[in-house]
A and B are shown apart, each in its own frame.
Chain A
Amino acid sequence: MKLTPYLAFAKKSFLNRSAYRFNHFMGILNTLVRIFIFWCIYRALYGERNEVDGITMAMVTTNFVLSIGMDALFSINDYYLPNRIGNGSIATELLLPISFKGRMLFENLGNTLFQLIFHFAPALVVCVVTVGVLPPVSFGCFLLFIISAVLGYGVLWNLSFLLQTFSFWLLNMWSLMTIKNVFLNVLSGSMIPLWFMPDWMAPVMNLLPFSSIYFTPVQIYLGQLSAKEIGTKFLVQMLWIGVLYLCGNVFWKKGKKKLVVQGG
């Protein structure tokens, strides 16, 4: 697989993003408002206390800033494939001599790079100044955090791709994606930090991929995991990537075979 055409796609989606500036600024505002609302709620819940169950308000804030920030950063378009199947343009796109999945990934990466520079970075600066964010415990942890965040991205991308391939059979994907997003919000820690989840939820969370996406990187960032635990978590993340990737591939191949192009 030669990279040049795929990098061209990454560049294209990067450039595409600059077409609608107003939309972009509203996006940053949206991220900041989300973080601010959660900060206010937990500020009120904490009241006069400094910590609950050993978790300080600063840790909770950091969790929100990082996981909502990562959510905005990854910004995977859940309707990339469904839209193309729905309006039939997948036909023209399968006519290009490149891998469709590779193209999809790189278009998203181009977008993510744009988000990193023009969305995540400014939003992070605003958060550091206003609500305050803890620094990473050490430089090593910061590096591991980045690796883990990249793996988290892999899990989320493959999960989204797997669900998107269902659109070969289902014409309306909205309900499925909404269910996914509810699970993602609740079980990934971007709405309720997973420290506060009841104990009986632990096995459920361990069996599902969601906590690998945002919460594992956050835990590493905050230095909550030992070296051994970090190793295990990395393995779990990679295992999820593998499983979701294989399932996605099976459905992708089957779907392509039965492809009936709508509206043509």
Chain B
Amino acid sequence: MSFIEVTNVSKRFRINKRAGGIPGMIANMFVPKYEYKQAVDGISFSIEEGEMIGFIGPNGAGKSTTIKMLSGILCPDSGSIKVGGYTPYKDRKKYVGNIGVVFGQKSQLQWDLPVIDSFELLKAIYRIPEELYQKNLNRFTEMLQMESFLYQPVRQLSLGQRMRADIVAALLHSPKIVFFDEPTIGVDVVGKETIRQFIRELNETDNITMIFTTHDMQDIEKVCDRLIIIDKGSKVYDGELSGIREKFGTTRQLDVEFTQECEIEPVENVQVIPLDNRKKRFVFENRDVKIDELMNELLTKYSIRDINISEPEIESLIRKIYNGEVS
């Protein structure tokens, strides 16, 4: 059995739906109308210990709901969740000692107190032994370069500093699983890189299982090994990052620069887009056209200065998946 086992989990919410305006408000007071929204619809997956998972999907796809069920805050309507032998929503108090959660948009630090006081509080809450606490604190503050603001009240920190402090706060008790919910949101380029490197390093050295939700594809490309994509409450992709290209990235494009202006004879199944006088772009499906044959044909027929083959970027593929253009 895997470390995290999610089987056929569903969750729906009841939403109060009201008509607009004053009549709608009054009607709603006496006869409230509800509608149901299926946030998660029969999702199953399993995760091994030490894996680094990117968990993505468009807004409203059910990511947060799934993460909340995994962390034991929400109780699924049906299906079962097992994490390291615990059922999160049932054994909440015992279970949560083994996990750490970083919500990019919600801080768990004490707003008015220096960062170090929040850490001391967490030490007491999780009953972290003094030795482990000191070891983790020194190690993490050094890795994330936090010495300069450890004694400042949280409300005076910049967003990047606060986020780093929040990440350390989630890791002090050496959890086995860490959930990152958009940990780089609103952080500048350098800060993002520091955070990514730190997460990557920690995953490799400490064998911590990490689940990462984000909208930043750079995060995913630089940090995660495996990707789970969900949309409208169901899983649409589960596999390696590179597998996405194989599965969905079937279009190729070939940018060709000719030595002189020329007319291009139409080629079967290839779309030709003129870029400027001497440059043309050839777009085609991998399965219809063999790239070597096409190049051969071009090279023999025309005089060519430069050729550039490009694969679609992960980001544009994922955009296509979200838009429902590929299946």
Contact = CB atoms under 8 A, between A and B. Distances in A.
A130 interface: no
Given A16-B110, A19-B112, A97-B97, A9 B126 contact: no
B303 to A, nearest CB: 60
Interface residues on B, range: 20 to 34
A9 B121 contact: yes
A19 B155 CA distance: 11
Contact of B71 (A7, A16, A95): A95
A92 B106 contact: yes
B80 interface: no
Interface string A91-129: 111111111000000000000000000000000000000
B73 A95 contact: yes
Given A16-B112, A95-B72, A261-B74, A8 B125 contact: yes
Contact of A4 (B13, B64, B97, B127): B127
Given A5-B124, A5-B127, A8-B124, A95 B99 contact: yes
B68 interface: yes
Contacts of B94: 97
A260 B120 CA distance: 30
A89 B97 CA distance: 18
B203 to A, nearest CB: 20
A136 interface: no
- The secondary-structure label for the interface of chain B is mixed
A189 B124 CA distance: 40
A159 B124 CA distance: 29
B195 to A, nearest CB: 19
Contact of B13 (A98, A257, A260): A260
B113 interface: yes
B96 interface: yes
Contacts of A264: 64, 68, 103, 105-106
B117 interface: yes
Contacts of A16: 110, 112-113
Interface string B73-107: 11100000000000000001110110101010110
Q: Which of A12, A91, A99, A261 has the most CB of B within 10 A?
A: A91
Contact of A12 (B97, B106, B121): B121
A162 B144 CA distance: 43
Q: Which of A89, A97, A99, A260 has the most CB of B within 10 A?
A: A97
Contacts of A2: 127
Interface string B125-149: 1110000000000000000000000
A250 interface: no
Contacts of B106: 88-89, 91-92, 264
A259 interface: yes
Contacts of A4: 124, 127
Nearest to A264: B64
A5 B110 contact: no
Given A4-B124, A16-B112, A259-B74, A95 B93 contact: no
Given A16-B110, A92-B106, A97 B125 contact: yes
A264 B92 CA distance: 20
Interface in A59-103: 88-89, 91-99
A4 B75 CA distance: 29
Contact of A15 (B72, B105, B113, B127): B113
Given A2-B127, A8-B121, A15-B117, A96 B112 contact: no
B64 to A, nearest CB: 6
B93 A97 contact: yes
Interface string A252-264: 0000010111001
Contacts of B73: 91, 94-95, 259, 261
Interface of B: 13, 64, 68, 71-75, 92-94, 96-97, 99, 101, 103, 105-106, 108, 110, 112-113, 117, 120-121, 124-127, 153
11 contacts: A4-B124, A4-B127, A5-B124, A8-B124, A16-B113, A88-B106, A94-B73, A96-B96, A97-B125, A257-B75, A264-B106
Given A97-B97, A264-B68, 15 more contacts: A2-B127, A4-B127, A5-B124, A5-B126, A8-B121, A9-B121, A12-B113, A12-B121, A15-B113, A20-B112, A88-B106, A94-B72, A99-B93, A257-B75, A264-B106
